[in-house]
Structure 1
Amino acid sequence: MLPIPIRDRVAKWLLAACLVGLLAVSGSANAEVTLVRLQTDDGNVYRGELIRQTAEVVVLNVEGIDASFDQEDIAVFEILESPEQLYQRRRAELAKDDLAGRLALAREMRDLDALRWAKLELMSLDRDFPEHPVVRDELAIVEAHQRLAQTRADDADNPRRDLPRRPERRGEVEGDEFLSSRQINLIKVYEVDLSTEPRIVISDETLDSFFQKYSDNRLVPTGRRDRGAFKRLDGHEQLDLMFRVQARDLYDQVDVRQEPTPLARFRRTVNPQYVARYFAPTFGHGEIPGLSLFNKRPEDEAEAYTNFYRLTQFRYEGTPMIDRANPKLSLMLQWGLARESARFPAPDIPGWKPAFSSTDDTEYQRYVDWIDSLFKEDLDYGITPALSDELE
């Protein structure tokens, strides 16, 4: 639907009255969520679920927060497709054998928190492409999101939810050994795929610093009007320019609110099913000097991202644990193969056993595919110190 410019006070009132009536009629037929894109007179754009609309005010739920807007301050009001409508329309455009397109649709539904439709498409994909590792991983991620949503709903219904809770212990691990939330977000910044148009927020203060520090770069807007237009862009578009200018000193001020898919796969699948169950207890508890991994709460963000960071930074005798250019040569997988079939056999560790039957093992191929989904070049996240046995 095309956005409707609203400039005249009377026109706004009439449009609001019509929409109130329209929504009342449609609401009686079904309980579908109405999604809205709203732009205020000062140029700010908001997207969210329409909670209430009268001739004087519009209330949207924007990322979990109810925000109220005066009708006289609204420049553009656009009713968007519901997740179900969007799913049905996009799905009708895709062929049954279009794996990439259907996966993209499922991920889009997941990003919109339309988990029902994401799972529906992934279950259909699982039937059409049996045992496909990417489909299975995506399905596991969606199901994990559903469990989390249910847990939050249960907590909301719990009258004791506001009572203080006993701090959770992490076994023998001290909290300051984990990456901080800021460092975790920085990893997300470096690993984000802008082509997926992820949800990213960059404050005006950070953008002002960007304009000032990089004003000599011809790509950076200079005039007041151009800078104002740049501030109205989506966050992923703003970050794209920051990447091109290589404004690394500002990356830690970028807020990534949508977990990059490869990192979500690591946290939900690779870390709990392989690293925590096999690799950490076999190699990461002092068996390899300088390599320390955790496996107490493998889906915990701090624990999972710390393992991910340490695995990406660690080299053993010059060979990386995670080889982005040659995933099959990654030591974290090579050491899970029988020594006679490995290019880099596992070190001599008491009690060691292979994790994979061969390189044709479904689980082995799944983790190869995961590494292959990462950026091909090693990334310096700007987190120190780097971990390596060569630093010992």
Structure 2
Amino acid sequence: MSNHSRSTALVGAFALVLSWAQWNVCAEVPQRRAALWAGAREQPATTPSDQPTKPPTPAPTPPQTPPHTPAPTPAPQAPVPGLPAEPTPPPPAVPVAPLPMPPKPLEPPGKKALPPGTEVILILKEGNRVTGILVEELPDAIRVRIAGIETTFKSDMIERYEVMRPILERYEEMKRAIGEDPDGLATLAEWLRSREQHELALKEVNHLLKIDPNHTEGKRLKLLIEKQIELRSKARSSDPKAPAVRPAPANAAPKTPVQSFPLLTDSQINLLKVFEIDLDDPPRMTIKRSTVTRLIDENLGTPHIPVTQEGRDAIYRKTPAAILDLMFKLRARDLYAE
């Protein structure tokens, strides 16, 4: 065989081998794909625990707000020539303390003033009620006489005041209601005396003693009223500016002449003050315990002193006004000065 024939035979064999190899490769590809597909179907599903755990994502941090910085106050701009200047804001208002108000007058201006001697009731802002005889009505105060003592009350202490009906009008009503009762006449005379109606009080006392000449309280009131009238007359005679003595009513009984006597002692003045006390509106006063003991010991067996020790001990706990009222009922005149 020639060399050319051998070469041709080798080339043909090589081409045949190459074709067979390509056919095998093309045949294996579908088989491998089928095997891979079958293996994937038989492989178990992967659980979450088999998967790699991812670290938790941290929560986003809220952005921090920078501290508030007040805006700078703009500097005043220089006025531009030819343009109107901007108005300057007014300065901030400074609070001013209110001025103290003057005391409010008790009554509006222009109202007719009350005449002195009118009986009034003062209702104080603290709740107390004071009854007295009007002495003077001022723009910012009122002066009254209580148990013979003049007292001034400022308007800022008084809530209001009430004017009582005229004394003479009430006197006529009481006189008609009492009639000829001696004890009632004594009460009426004391009521008139406490309101400085001494002439009328003396008239009623004289009428009382005509009905009952031995009436003890009537005798005491007669002596007391005559002394008060004399003291008032002496005080007015020494003061030329004092008003004249009010004349007694036309039908009044003649005044009993009073003998001259020396000036009163301190004990007698204190006794007069005791008689001037109004038990319905008593002033502040103090009664010693020893005086109460004497009152009980000297009046044992009377209806006003209890029989039991507990009842007598209760007398010590009474108010001074109640003890003084008990003295009046027992006629304990020797204890009045104490």
TM-score by length of 2: 0.40
**More relative contact order, 1 or 2 (CA 8 Å, 6+ apart):** 1
The structure where helix makes up a greater share of residues is 1
